[in-house]
């Protein structure tokens, strides 16, 4: 059986400035998550390059990326070691957001999806990145999670760059100065937010 080559994203080119908030809009399967994973370094492009002049977070989403046998404490220790930060500081900052308490000592496989999201988000926030990559997590979870996420990213880190894959036009209007529409693996950048939202709704 022959298998064709599927290009998740193709010929995508754009730039981001420090402090800039860019929305990534597109239908499910359009290539938004692949783009974010490539920018973060989780995946490598088959061709082309990514030029990074800012420190980028790993994708903030519901998949923690940690081995399920690891505990929350293990994950915090791993992140601290990779980024050269004191473990107590990383642990404190992560748990301040995640509020997992005694569950930080339990295996991640025992966590609910919401707990995994809070841990992943909290660990990302424990490191001061220049740019945060957010993959459709802001509008998910309960209201408390959404409120804390908004506060951490849009208020406490208002000076940081943000690349945000999101389906909410309201969030795009309120916080983003530019939009990147991804459709069938291609992407186009828009400075006109209202035009971008209109095109996105017509996809």
User: In whole angstroms, what is the distance from residue 141 CA to residue 122 CA?
Assistant: 14
Considering its fold, how many domains does the chain have in total?
Answer: 2
Per DSSP, the three-state class of 192 is coil
Whether 88 and 158 share a structural domain: no
Helix H, strand E, coil C: the string for 102-128 is HHHHCEHHHCCHHHHHHHHHHHHHCCC
* Same domain membership, residue 76 and residue 36: no
DSSP assignment, residue 179? E
Identify the burial level of 58 via C-beta atoms within 10 angstroms of its C-beta, where 0-12 means exposed, 13-18 middle and 19 or more buried.
buried
Task: Note whether 136 and 119 are same-domain residues.
Answer: no
Same-domain check for residues 7 and 53: yes
pLDDT digits (tens, 9 = 90+) for 96-140: 999 999 999 999 999 988 888 889 889 988 999 999 998 876 655
More confident residue, 197 or 121: 197
Residue that has been written with the tokens 């530019």 in this structure = 178
159 and 200 part of one domain = yes
Tally DSSP H helices, then E strands, for the chain. Answer: 7, 5
Q: Determine the Cα–Cα distance for residues 164 and 60; give it in Å rounded to an integer.
A: 9
Q: Specify which of 3-7, 10-14, 30-34, 177-181 reaches the highest per-range mean pLDDT.
A: 177-181
Q: Which domain holds residue 79?
A: 65-127
pTM: 0.84
Enter the DSSP assignment of 71: B
Shared domain for 48 and 135, answered yes or no, is yes
Considering the domain architecture, whether residues 75 and 29 belong to the same structural domain is answered as no
Ramachandran class of 11: left when φ > 0, alpha when ψ lies in -120 to 50, beta otherwise: left
Instruction: Give the mean pLDDT of 178-200.
Output: 92
Note whether 37 and 92 are within 8 A (CB).
Answer: no
Average pLDDT, the chain: 87
> How far, in Å, CA of 192 to CA of 18, rounded?
19
Strand partners, 21: 162
Tens digit of each residue's pLDDT (9 = 90 or more) over 40-92? 888 888 888 888 999 999 887 655 678 999 999 999 999 999 999 999 999 99
Which pair of tokens denotes residue 115?
């707990």
Q: Would you give the end-to-end CA distance of the chain in angstroms?
A: 33
- pLDDT of amino acid 61: 63
Instruction: Select from 89, 109, 127 the last residue of a domain.
Output: 127
Whole-number pLDDT of residue 149: 83
- Residue 2's pLDDT is 47
Domain termination site, one of 83, 105, 127? 127
pLDDT at site 104: 96
pLDDT-derived band at 23 (thresholds 50, 70, 90) equals: very high
Average pLDDT, integer, range 26-38: 87
Q: Cβ(120)–Cβ(134) under 8 Å?
A: no
């Amino acid at each position: 059986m022959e298998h064709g080559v599927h290009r998740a994203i193709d010929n995508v080119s754009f730039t981001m400035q420090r402090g800039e908030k860019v929305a990534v809009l597109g239908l499910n399967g359009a290539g938004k998550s692949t783009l974010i994973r490539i920018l973060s370094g989780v995946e490598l492009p088959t061709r082309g390059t990514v030029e990074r002049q800012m420190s980028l977070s790993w994708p903030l989403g519901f998949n923690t990326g940690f081995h399920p046998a690891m505990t929350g404490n293990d994950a915090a220790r791993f992140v601290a070691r990779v980024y050269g930060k004191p473990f107590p500081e990383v642990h404190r900052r992560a748990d301040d957001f995640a509020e997992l308490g005694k569950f930080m000592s339990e295996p991640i496989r025992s966590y609910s999806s919401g707990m995994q999201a809070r841990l992943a988000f909290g660990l990302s926030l424990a490191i001061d990145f220049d740019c945060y990559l957010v993959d459709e997590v802001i509008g998910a979870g309960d209201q408390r999670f959404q409120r804390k996420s908004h506060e951490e990213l849009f208020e406490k880190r208002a000076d940081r760059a943000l690349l945000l894959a999101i389906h909410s036009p309201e969030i795009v209007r309120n916080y983003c100065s530019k939009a990147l529409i991804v459709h069938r693996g291609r992407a186009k950048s828009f400075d006109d937010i209202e035009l971008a939202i209109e095109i996105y709704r017509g996809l």
